[in-house]
Amino acid sequence: MKMNKPLQFTHINEQGKARMVDISEKETSARVATAYGEIHMNKVVADGIKNQTIKKGEVLQVARVAGIMAAKKTFELIPLCHVLALSKCEVEFNWKTDQLLSVHCVTKTIGQTGVEMEALMGANIALLTIYDMCKALDREMKITNVCLVEKSGGKSGHFISTNHLPHE
């Protein structure tokens, strides 16, 4: 009978102190991750984004660039994340309803650790940028359903979320 090893947090050493995981012995492989999130807004904001009449500028273009920049800087904001050279970061938006906008952030690298945090950071910052640019018109905007949708590569293999809303 095979004994299961107890689950351990990899970012904590034997003394219970935080550490950055040593990935130097890990195999290099293609790593891809997709994150998702939504922002709910009032009709005035939604129409302003669609018609590009928000005074701060072209909201979706600014949010797209902000998401890409954030994904590239994830290691600067999450203390134990590794510095990764992303080979791809794509941020896409889709209107699910008249007042509900979704974002998908896809990140990719060839490396020794995954890009899930980079995808999640990109999606979150894209949504926060939309909030920032439109908050004067709707302080009740709500960011929801941010999650990892899918990841592939590495020892843990392919993951597809069973809790995620269906792809558009």
Is 7 assigned to a binding site? no
CA distance 81 to 139: 32
In a domain, 6, yes or no: no
Is 80 assigned to a binding site? yes
What is the structure's pLDDT at 14?
A: 80
In a domain, 119, yes or no: yes
In a domain, 51, yes or no: yes
- Work out how many domains the chain is built from and give that number: 1
What is the structure's pLDDT at 146?
A: 97
What is the structure's pLDDT at 33?
A: 98
In a domain, 17, yes or no: no
For residue 138, the domain's CATH number is 3.30.70.640
The more confidently predicted of residues 27 and 65 is 65
CA distance 106 to 116: 9
Is 81 assigned to a binding site? yes
In a domain, 40, yes or no: yes
Q: What's the count of helices (H) and strands (E) in the chain, helices before strands?
A: 4, 5
The more confidently predicted of residues 147 and 27 is 147
Query: pLDDT (tens digit, 9 = 90+) per residue, 45-85?
Result: 999 999 999 999 999 999 999 999 999 999 999 999 999 99
Query: pLDDT (tens digit, 9 = 90+) per residue, 87-96?
Result: 999 999 999 9
In a domain, 128, yes or no: yes
The more confidently predicted of residues 10 and 51 is 51
What is the structure's pLDDT at 6?
A: 63
Domain that holds residue 73: 29-155
Query: pLDDT (tens digit, 9 = 90+) per residue, 106-152?
Result: 999 999 999 999 999 999 999 999 999 999 999 999 999 999 999 99
The more confidently predicted of residues 98 and 20 is 98
**HEC per residue, 99-168:** CEEEEEEEEEEEECCCCHHHHHHHHHHHHHHHHHHHCCCCCCCEEEEEEEEEEECCCCCCEECCCCCCCC
Is 148 assigned to a binding site? no
Annotated catalytic residues are 132
